[in-house]
Amino acid sequence: MKKLLTWGGVGLLTSAFLDPVIYASLEQPVPWGRDVLMAAGGIVCLYLLVKFRKQF
């Protein structure tokens, strides 16, 4: 579970920050809603990882 939350948090946050860069370089509109949801999911994964660090 610890590895899943770590990968989820890092993967979602990284993709949320790199996605606008990729879309801007392709000169397409950035889907901000999807990026906000990915960032929120990454933050939740890292929050759960810190909150339950003694149990994992």
pLDDT in tens, 6-50: 999 999 999 999 999 999 999 999 999 999 999 999 999 999 999
Cα dihedral 13, 36, 21, 42, rounded to 10, equals: 10
Domain assignment of residue 33, yes or no: yes
Residue 19's pLDDT is 95
Please identify which residue in the block is written with the tokens 């929120």. Answer: 40
Instruction: Residue 9: count other Cβ atoms within 10 Å of its Cβ.
Output: 20
In a domain, 56, yes or no: no
Q: How many structural domains is the chain composed of? A: 1
Q: With H, G, I as helix, E, B as strand and everything else as coil, classify residue 31.
A: coil
The stretches of the chain forming alpha helices (DSSP H) are: 2-25, 32-51
Look up residue 47 and give its DSSP letter. H
In a domain, 30, yes or no: yes
What is the span of the domain harbouring residue 40? 2-51
Is residue 2 within 8 A of residue 56, CB to CB? The reply is yes
